[in-house]
Structures are given as C-alpha cells and as structure tokens.
Amino acid sequence: MAPSTSFGLEVPAKFARRIDSGFDTVKEWENEELLKECRAQIPFHILCPEQYHGRTDMDMDDGGMDMCTSIEQSPYINPEDDHKYQGDDLFLKRLAKYFQEIMTWVNNPPCELCNSDQTKCRQTRGPLTSEEFDGKASRVEIYWCPNCNAETTTFPRYNSPRKLLETKKGRCGEYANLFGLYCRAAGFETRYILDYTDHVWTEVYSKRLGRWIMADSCEGQIDATSMYEKGWGKKLNWILAFTLDSVVDITRRYTRAYLSEEFQARRRDICPRLDHAAMYLNQKN
C-alpha cells in the first residue's frame, strides 16, 4: 500500500522505505568518535607515500605509524594508471583499492561447526541477540550445512558502521556503508548511492574536477559510471544519491538510455507515478 504524504502524494511503500534507509545510513557517518576510530585505521603513509616520503614516525600525526613507506614500497602505486588522477582524486583511487583488499566478501559463510564452504541459506529472521541489535542487523541469514545436516551458521547483515569496522565482511551493502565512513574519515564530502536494481556504492565530491566521482569499493573502481550499464549489463531504473540532508535522483549520470520508452517503463515498474515520485523526493529535501 502506498503511503500518503502531506501533499497527498502516493509512492510505493518499498520505494519510500528505501529512501528512509538511505538517510539512516549517511547519518551514521557523522559520529565524530567513530570517524576518529576509522581515521586511525587508514594507512595514509602507504596510500600517500609521496606526501610522507622522507618523514620519520616522530613527524606523523595521523595514527602513529612506526615508519614511513617509500614510494617504491607502496603496493598502491600504479604508474600506468596514476597519471590520470591528481591530489585527493588519486588518494580516493588508492583508498578504494585498499578497502577492497581489507574486506571479506561473503556469499555464504563457512559452517561454524565443520568449516564446510557448502552452506546454503535456508531462511532469515530478525535480530535476537544483543550483538545483533547493537550492530543494527536488518536481518539474520540462517545457513544449513550439508555435512552436518543441520542449520549451523548465522550471518547477521549489520547496518552499523561501527560493527562493520570490526567485522569488515559482507556484500555490497556492508561495503558501501563502511567505505562511506572511510571516505568521511578521510575528509571527503561523501554521498550514499542507492541503485534500485540491487546495488549500492558511494560518490565523493572532487574539488579539483568540480563534480561528484563514483567510487565502488566492491570493485575498487572510481569514476567509472558506465560500468554498471555497459560493463555489467544492468537494466537500471532508479539511482538515488543521499547526503545528510538531501536525496537526489541521479539516474541520468549512469545511463545513455534514460529517455527511451523501455527505460522509463522500468522506472514506472518501481514507481508508477513518476511525477509523484519526483515530488516525493523534493519533499525529502
């Protein structure tokens, strides 16, 4: 059933709920204590060796690293590609690649009893334990192990970036959530990107370019807006961008087929009244 707004607009409940969820995500990124904890985990000396080259640990003030990494030692220096970027944009490129390496992608967790990797998700439930509630788990996946012939393993889908800073595992939702925190901790103006065809990522504002840059931490890629439609073959429909106090429809940035009837039909499948959807988004700003 579609919720009514103060102006009598109607949009599908699922469409509205995901918008509320997007705002909830970015609010979590503004906790100063959490940002400080996250900042202490970012190896600036490895990602930006050009800035730290020649300095000693006594000079450093961003995490107390024991030693500086030389430009030659940093695994994130890529002469064939780095020349395309400068300053903060170059740092973002390296941060995305680093983040991809420290995270663990989980399609199905290993069995907690026998460590089999053949577990299968049989059902989900809501949070029950204090850890699941504290970690703001939206749901908990329950996995069956064929070796044990029993449901042996749970995988909470945490939404708390504080918990994700500890676990560093999940799928695109967890990746985008925690990477958004990393970007904020690094000082970037950051927004959360919600793709209604079941993907999420982040965008960071480039002061040098004067525009937003896509940053997908699952892929370790930045500034590649054609990746989803052209590269993955996704049939896109709605893509929304969230900051602390705004939500914007940025679908046009990620497709060349926006004006086609087929594309617009896909958008109507999500929200039949496109005019009401646009006005609903305006209300949220």
- Catalytic positions are 172, 199, 216
| Dist. CA 99–CA 105, nearest whole Å | 12
- Backbone phi, psi, residue 213, to 5°: -115, 130
| Dist. CA 179–CA 16, nearest whole Å | 24
b/e map of 247-272 (b: 16 or more CB within 10 Å)?
bbebbeebbeeeeeeebeebbeebbe
Structure tokens at 32: 């100063």
The beta strand positions in 115-210, using DSSP E, are 120-125, 140-145, 150-156, 169-170, 190-195, 199-206
* Apex 37 CA angle, 32 and 42, nearest 5: 120
